[in-house]
Structure 1
């Protein structure tokens, strides 16, 4: 049996319709209770900011929580280094996700800057339904492979026969815009004091590609 194997490449461009805000809060204190209470206070400020712009406090989801002891190397009078306890570091990672709206995003960022929680803030632009993008991508790759196979067969005087095999490595697609939006915690007090709100932006389209290999019988 004669066969032909062709790798099809799919390309899809999608406009971002979903926003994911990642917020990281870290506190450091000599006592565990103080580190936890400071973190709780800052999270409550963030929840209040979310409520002020139309969300429920439950919409602010915790994605990770971590408490560690911190030490640093300190030189004594003899010039020797020793480990010295610094405190308890409490870290919360949270996210707030909502449908893309440039004006709403500006309101959310301004509210966060004004609440005094000072989180590390980063914003990702994606799509609400990544599976729909994946489906279009596979259809595109399949059509691309078949078109290539038919051209090759025609050029060689052959006929494309029955499909024998599909080889695809199913993985997680990176369905995120290349547009980055980050605000350092030290900048947020300046944003809060400014009379100007956060700027409205239009993120770049999401471009994704994937490949699938097909094997056909040729006659």
Structure 2
């Protein structure tokens, strides 16, 4: 083996690819110390008797959401403010009863809007009053989404569908799998670059998890929710990046 007495920088363009398995890790660029992202070159630094390599691995996991959040409510327009508000409250009570009847638990219902105001056909002349009350319903059985939405529609002309979102209720298992994949990705990259540098990979010096991509709700519009065929939770992606420093030997 040839001993390199000075700092050597090994740079390579890394093509994005899949690491394999359901918790597949996208191949990412590896970066040297001090870089804020995984987009820089890999760096192998040799300092006399001490050599280290720093790599950044990424793990991605797709999960199927198991919770739907339905944004719904009621809206009425009447000649007077008192009539509008009273009828909106009656319609909201009917909506709540319908949601409970569709299997939603009371603890999963939350009022998220309560409004009352004038309506103008020709400002400043008041043509009437609009009252609205919004409700967010947490649907914990996604398979019952159609049933819940149908129950809202059956409330009558006062009912409103304002959109739905989907989420994974427990991301801990998915995060663990993504971390496993990220570490395996980092090790594979480190072994590759160590070999290219004419060295062997040694022990881990340090591990730090960097900012990945947290799961985010998948949004659909209220218009889409009206079509049964469009009620699908899709998938959510969770991404984890890990920076690992190895000894070279």
| 1:153 lines up with 2:172 in the alignment | no
| 1:3 lines up with 2:52 in the alignment | yes
5+ residue gaps in structure 1?
A: 76-82, 192-197
Scaled by the length of structure 1, the TM-score of the pair is 0.69
| 1:97 lines up with 2:97 in the alignment | no
1-structure distance, mates of 2:162, 2:204 = 53
Aligned length: 197
Distance 1:68 1:200, change over 3 A: closer
Per-residue deviation, 1:170 = 6.6
- Partner residue of 2:246? 216
Larger radius of gyration: 2
Per-residue deviation, 1:177 = 4.6
* Partner deviation per Cα, 1:78-111 (whole Å, 9 max, x = no partner): xxxxx7778576553422321221xx22221111
Give yes or no for contact 2:71–2:162 (8 Å, CA) kept in 1: yes
2-structure distance, mates of 1:74, 1:98 = 45
Distance 1:94 1:17, change over 3 A: closer
Distance 1:42 1:109, change over 3 A: same
**Over aligned residue pairs, what C-alpha RMSD do you find?**
3.6
* Aligned counterpart for 2:153 among listed residues 89, 109, 113: 113
* Aligned counterpart for 1:132 among listed residues 173, 180, 183: 173
2-structure distance, mates of 1:163, 1:37 = 68
Per-residue deviation, 1:113 = 0.7
* Aligned counterpart for 1:50 among listed residues 99, 110, 114: 99
Give yes or no for contact 1:150–1:160 (8 Å, CA) kept in 2: no
Give yes or no for contact 1:106–1:200 (8 Å, CA) kept in 2: no
Give yes or no for contact 1:25–1:39 (8 Å, CA) kept in 2: yes
2-structure distance, mates of 1:215, 1:34 = 69
More helix by share: 1
Partner of 1:119, secondary structure, is strand
5+ residue gaps in structure 2?
A: 1-49
1-structure distance, mates of 2:84, 2:245 = 60
Distance 1:152 1:26, change over 3 A: farther
Question: 1:74-93 alignment to 2 at 5 Å?
Answer: 90-93=132-135
Larger CA deviation: 129-138 vs 52-61: 52-61
1-structure distance, mates of 2:205, 2:78 = 65
